[in-house]
Amino acid sequence: NNPFFVTVSGKYAYVVNYGSASLSIYDVTNPLLATTTLATLGGFSNPVSVAVSGKYAYIANYGNNTISVLDVSNPASPSIISSVGVGTQPYSVAVVGKYVYSANLGSDNVSVVDISSPVSPLLVNTVSVGDGPGYVSVSGEYAYVVNNVDSTLSILDISNPRAPSVVSTLSTGGTGPQSVSISGNYAYVPNYNSNSLSVINISNVASPFVVATTSVPGGPSASFVAGRYMYIPTYATHTLT
């Protein structure tokens, strides 16, 4: 229960459930039809985010300050293969290439984990960001981090993952931002406290700006863009918009 975050990879949607400490995998081949649950796996500690790359999934465990690595080569039968410690209260993970980025809410930083060997992940660096970093999304050579407490978006240069640096920070235009997803020249930030979605122009990462906000009732806790569709789980009402 309490679905908290969703990501889509290929024909499948991956949802972490905070209350039941589990991961559910759904077949979303046709988004207009009812989805089919393929598997549900437990064994996590207050999971709040999941990222998928190839045959592996990476889950942020808020409760024990770790990232779990899963083999999802068969979505109907996922399994946990390793874990790695990161900062305090990891709240989001993003994966690109051989690195995972973890936004750590309690320690106000982002951890960089080398996953070139999924069975032996290695923490290689951290970088400080804003107050209460809640979610991270990676696009190209940049990582985008929402800071929940001060309601800002930090943009990091990760062209060298072992030496990340902050290039800009701006207000999201809402309060309590929970996540960020990237599509083209825009970042989409759901603001939990103000029940809204902010659209931010990031065509110039050194000078981003908010271009629009829209109402999303029910406590939007995440967002994911796939083609023409955006998926937004609403924590308070236990639904997916």
pLDDT tens column, 70-108: 999 999 999 999 999 999 999 989 999 999 999 999 999
Q: Which residue has the higher pLDDT, 32 or 69?
A: 69
Q: Which residues of 195-231 are buried (b: 16+ CB within 10 A; e: fewer)?
A: bbbbebebeebeebebeebeebebbbbbbbbeeeebb
Alpha carbon distance, N-terminus to C-terminus of the chain: 16
pLDDT tens column, 13-53: 999 999 999 999 999 888 776 567 899 999 999 999 999 99
Q: Report residue 210: phi and psi, to 5°.
A: -80, 130
Q: How many Å apart are CA 220 and CA 92, to the nearest integer? A: 15
What is the sign of the dihedral through the CA atoms of 32, 34, 36 and 41?
positive
Q: Report residue 174: phi and psi, to 5°.
A: -135, -170
The answer to whether the CB of 88 falls within 8 A of the CB of 106 is yes
Closest CA to 140 of 115, 119, 167, 177: 167
Placement of tokens 């649950």 in the chain: 37
Question: Can you tell me the mean pLDDT for 110-135?
Answer: 96
Q: How many Å apart are CA 190 and CA 180, to the nearest integer? A: 7
The answer to whether the CB of 148 falls within 8 A of the CB of 134 is yes
- Residue 23: the pLDDT is 96
Mean pLDDT, the chain, integer: 92
Give the DSSP H/E element, type plus range, for residue 232: none
Q: How many Å apart are CA 80 and CA 14, to the nearest integer? A: 15
pTM of this structure: 0.85
- Residue 7: the pLDDT is 86
